[in-house]
């Protein structure tokens, strides 16, 4: 069974994001980039399925600029067997990414796609669902546990009332939540091995996909800073401020 794991290159989660002076977007010049944490969990889960003998091959794929190769090398150091980069300098929105992933999934004839539920840069939480719709495959989102039994995937997911376990027939789409696993530490020997693994480069044109943005970003701005708190003399003053200033009662 072949598994496709899409990974995204994003600003590292430890970096404080700053908005460009012209408010056209986020400033990523000279900023540390890394793999989206949710996608890292997806690579780890696919690798564990391979180690358990359930999966025969794990293929990592990324869409974006040439520097995404670094992210794919990290995925291969974790455990992916090979990788593919759909290289483009265009702004990629969730629908365009889903179309690219659909083309790659059909090209590779995979049985399962495991990807992060969302990226920490745009927080869109759309690509997995759009990919399932385009392929016509069943989907199991926000997975906290994945068990493959024959041609079926049993996925436990967190819902408001607790846990929900659903069963989907393969091929299927699974999106990962934070509690699914803890990604392994990437060792130096595995990093060196990843440099020798196969990494193919494709283009949207080769896959027959139009990645023209359909949504235009008008302005990006920082959230307003929080006002300093104040002390009140007594309960009556607190109630007065909550009623007349905050207007929450």
**Structural domains in the chain?**
2-220 (3.40.50.620)
In this prediction, residue 29 carries a pLDDT of 83
**Does pLDDT of 15 surpass 90?**
no
Q: pLDDT-derived band of residue 246, with 50, 70 and 90 as boundaries?
A: confident
**Does pLDDT of 184 surpass 90?**
yes
Query: What rounded mean pLDDT belongs to the chain?
Result: 92
Query: CA nearest 109: which of 43, 45, 194, 170?
Result: 170
In terms of average pLDDT, the best of 58-62, 229-233, 245-249 is 58-62
Residue 166 CB-density burial (10 A; 0-12 exposed, 13-18 middle, 19+ buried): middle
Express each pLDDT in 114-129 by its tens digit.
999 999 988 999 999 9
Task: Say what the pTM is.
Answer: 0.84
């Amino acid at each position: 069974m072949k598994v496709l794991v899409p990974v995204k290159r994003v600003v590292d989660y430890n970096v404080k994001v700053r908005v460009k002076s012209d408010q056209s977007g986020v400033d990523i010049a000279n900023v540390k980039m890394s793999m989206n944490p949710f996608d890292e969990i997806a690579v780890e889960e696919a690798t564990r399925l391979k180690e358990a003998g359930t999966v025969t091959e794990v293929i990592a794929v990324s869409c974006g600029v040439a520097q995404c190769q670094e992210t794919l090398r990290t995925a291969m150091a974790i455990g992916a067997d090979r990788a593919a980069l759909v290289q483009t300098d265009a702004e990629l929105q969730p629908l365009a990414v889903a179309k690219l992933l659909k083309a790659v999934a059909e090209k590779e004839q995979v049985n399962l796609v495991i990807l992060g539920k969302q990226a920490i840069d745009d927080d869109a939480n759309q690509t997995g669902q759009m990919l399932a719709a385009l392929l016509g495959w069943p989907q199991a989102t926000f997975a906290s546990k994945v068990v493959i039994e024959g041609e079926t995937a049993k996925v436990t997911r967190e819902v408001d009332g607790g846990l929900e376990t659903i069963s989907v027939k393969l091929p299927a789409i699974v999106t990962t939540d934070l509690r699914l696993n803890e990604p392994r530490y990437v060792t130096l020997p595995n990093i060196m091995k990843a440099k020798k693994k196969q990494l193919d480069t494709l283009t949207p044109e080769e896959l027959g996909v139009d990645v023209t943005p359909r949504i235009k970003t008008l302005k990006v701005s920082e959230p307003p800073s929080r006002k300093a708190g104040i002390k009140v003399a007594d309960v009556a003053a607190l109630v007065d401020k909550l009623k007349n200033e905050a207007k929450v009662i």
